Amino acid sequence: MKKVQFKSSYSQYLFLAPQLGILLIFLYWPIIQTFRDAFTMQDAFGFGATFVWFDNFLFIFDDPAYFIAFKFTIIYSFVITLITGSIGLLLAVQANNVMHGKSTYKTLLIWPYAIAPAVVGVMANYFFSERFGLLYHLFHELWGFNWYESVFDSYIYVIIAGSWKQISANFIFFLAGLQAIQKSVIEASMIDCKNSFRRFWTITFPLLMPTTFFLIIINITYAFFDTFGIIDTTTIGAPSGETRTLVYKAYMDGFRGLDLGSAGAQSIMMMLIVLVITIFQFRYIEGKIHYN
């Protein structure tokens, strides 16, 4: 904190009030309601709710569809993180290498970041439709691709759709990370190690660790939450719910099934997952990286 600060009895609260007010009404109040929903069961006519302890949680653990969504979400975030991270890093390293046209490349690779996931999904839809989808027909020729029926093929579909725009975000952050590494470190390493491939993995990549872990969190968050628009405009969960993320399933149960208790319990499970990932990040990973 600052050494010099203002001391006042009220004016700090005037500065805090707008944000705190919005957070309390539109964030904390709904969160409290989420907990209330999760521990109660609405009666069929919507007149009242009874407290049911952990019944809603037990129901979702009994539901095979929940585990399918759980499995898919884990695979989906892992694969998206891996693909977008490695392609983003590859492009960033090349863009950092070139003498000419660095900013042109940057501009030409940055823009997909701005496209909404739902828009990406609608576009992907055109490339994977049975009627005139180029990728559908290409993959169909190669191995009989059919995402309407094959679970593996539907994974490929939503992974390609989900990765495409996220490569941009990874590229931007890795490039910024590379540019932040001091020239003198790289020059010194050039004298010690002639092999540029080995130099990258032993000197540059370890220095990029903070960026890498930041991006892992960003990519996991993206795969968990932002891909709703992609799933809803591509497979809609097909075949038989195999490509539903946890967020998508919770939404469908709450909206289509009007089961707010289950949706609330599922939301709380996701909050726990996010919390675990965050604690893991701070406890085990942050401590092991060296910031320069």
Residues 231-290 that bind another protein (CB under 8 A): 232-233, 247, 251, 254-255, 260, 263-264, 267, 270-271, 274-275, 278
Instruction: Please give the angle made by the CA atoms of 242, 78 and 81, to the nearest 5 degrees.
Output: 125
149: which DSSP letter? T
Residues numbered 34 to 53 that lie near another protein (CB under 8 A) are 34, 37
Q: Which amino acid is it at 5? A: Q
59 binds another protein per the rule CB under 8 A: no
Q: Does 185 bind another protein (CB under 8 A)?
A: no
Q: At what angle do helices 209-221 and 260-280 cross, to 10 degrees?
A: 180
Q: Is 217 in the site for another protein (CB under 8 A)?
A: no
| Nearest distance, CB of residue 220 and another protein, angstroms | 12
Under rule CB under 8 A, how many of the chain's residues touch another protein?
A: 87
> Given the rule CB under 8 A, which of 9-17, 50-58, 182-190, 200-208 is the region that contacts another protein?
9-17
224: helix, strand or coil: helix
Closest listed residue to residue 107, CA positions, set 50, 181, 156, 171: 171
- Distance of closest approach, residue 243 Cβ to another protein, in angstroms: 17
Listed in sequence order, the residues at least 6 apart from 59 whose beta carbon sits closer than 8 Å to its beta carbon are 262, 265
67 binds another protein (CB under 8 A): no
Q: Which helix (H) or strand (E) holds 194?
A: none
> Considering beta carbons, is residue 59 or 113 the nearer one to another protein?
113
**Alpha carbons 256 and 244: distance in angstroms, whole number:** 14
Contact segment (CB under 8 A) with another protein among 16-24, 49-57, 142-150, 184-192 equals 16-24
